[in-house]
Structure 1
């Protein structure tokens, strides 16, 4: 099922273009258009790249909802039910494909960022830890996306359901320090799931203070992933029971 999902992605030029081009476009926009307006106490590209990575991971994970919704509406699930395969493998294939695709996109974004002036200070061990953080974050969002895709009546609705996954990083420490925000917005930005993940990733790559962000990031990702997995499994079981 993972191989099937990967083949579908490779055979969809528009998906591949958006998966690769969108992160690079967002990176260029923030570095060259908005970067000069923000004072983050250092090079803006070094500050913003971790946020760009998670922003694009949210967008990439959201496409899993469209893929699952497409499967649910084109009749292929009925065929799978007649085959000697595990029901859960259908959903797991989409999730694993999402993680693989997003790690590839992350690699491309990092290479482009380095070419633009991004200078991480991480050693090999911290790089591995950073990739693990990204993978866990994408895994959690992918399960939520799969659950939303199962709830949607069609792929178009599934795409709309996942818009919030892409915009949550905007209200976090991804692009500006949270202490520059109004008090009411700062409170939300500091206590939402994406901020501790970004601070952990930024600390691993750039050597900034991590504090308790790593622990909070793990807790948030585990909670979101578990909620998505249980919801997706329950909805899928109900929809394929007859």
Structure 2
């Protein structure tokens, strides 16, 4: 499917809703189906069904609960969007559990974003649109907590800006953009900060992801912190 934008004459964003509670699935379905740029392509009540349906239906975004019977949401996310998946699906993890460990494991599994179930309908809708557009849904405060708590699992590159370092392929401006992505800034905020157009920012982001072989902005955030390009307060 090809994701659309509100009011645009495009194919709507296809959403697969995955949660073990029928009431929650029904609520999400009602919220997403009411959007002019979204369509719910299916529902799943467990992780295994979520994986099977996602592989068959190829939704633009999978809205995934963490705790589900059989195969949990983290394991299902790994099967759909993990580093070894040739054609990954974008996954937005939504859970009642505001635990850093869940966020960390979800992102490691390949999730493109993370929201709590008590988020407003507007935030849920915005989250799906954000993930469908290929942008990270990860607030700077969440990033700081994760890096602070799990920093021991991340080994920074001793010379990330060096000619032999992982950033050697990037231009100076691309490194600036990567740092701002890692700080949690949106394309619009990056454009304002660097006094350039949003389209130029999108071009830089695309180049960064391609050169560093990263799938999306979430991976770019994790990468930037891992190599020590930016640091986060605990």
Please report the TM-score for the alignment, with normalisation by the length of structure 1.
Answer: 0.25
Structure 1 or 2: more strand by fraction? 2
**As a proportion of its length, which structure holds more helix?**
1
Larger radius of gyration: 1
User: TM-score when scaled to structure 2?
Assistant: 0.25
Higher relative contact order, chain-length normalized (CA < 8 Å, sep 6+): 1
